[in-house]
Amino acid sequence: AYFALQVIYARRKHKISPPETTGHPEFERIFRAQANCSEYFPIFISLLWVAGIFFHQGVAAVCGLLYLYTRFKYFQGYALAAQGRLGPLYASARLLWLLVGLAVAGLLAHFLLP
């Protein structure tokens, strides 16, 4: 919701009415950052859910909070400059891969171990 509000504020600031998605470079970066975060959210929620149920709730919750923080930093960095997104982007990708590993380990343990 925070990211969507930032897009609304950027639209007002730069006088870009919906459905336009181009205009001022700052608006385009904010819009793209919000879209990128929205695209990854279903993957994140699914992995968080499976890792929490089948591996460990606490570990999954910590990974989830770290992921949300890195996506927030990604959004802030991207809003300022396109290069500002790279560090947080790589960190959030590593956290998603960690959640994949936790989910797979939990599923394997649940279904293969007695």
pLDDT digits 0-9 by tens, 20-54: 999 999 999 999 999 999 999 999 999 999 999 99
Three-class secondary structure of residue 9 per DSSP: helix
Catalytic residue chosen out of the listed positions 11, 29, 71, 85: 85
Whether 29 sits among the annotated catalytic residues: the reply is no
Q: Kindly state the percentage of the chain with pLDDT values over 70.
A: 100
Long-range contacts of 68-76 (CB under 8 A, 24+ apart): 70/95, 71/37, 71/40, 72/2, 74/33, 74/36, 74/37, 75/3, 75/6, 75/33, 75/34, 75/37
pTM of the model: 0.93
Catalytic residue chosen out of the listed positions 12, 29, 32, 94: 12
Whether 12 sits among the annotated catalytic residues: the reply is yes
Separation of CA 42 from chain center: 9
d(CA 36, CA 39): 5
**pLDDT tens column, 55-91:** 999 999 999 999 999 999 999 999 999 999 999 999 9
Enter the tokens of residue 91: 């960190």
Domains of the chain: 1-112 (1.20.120.550)
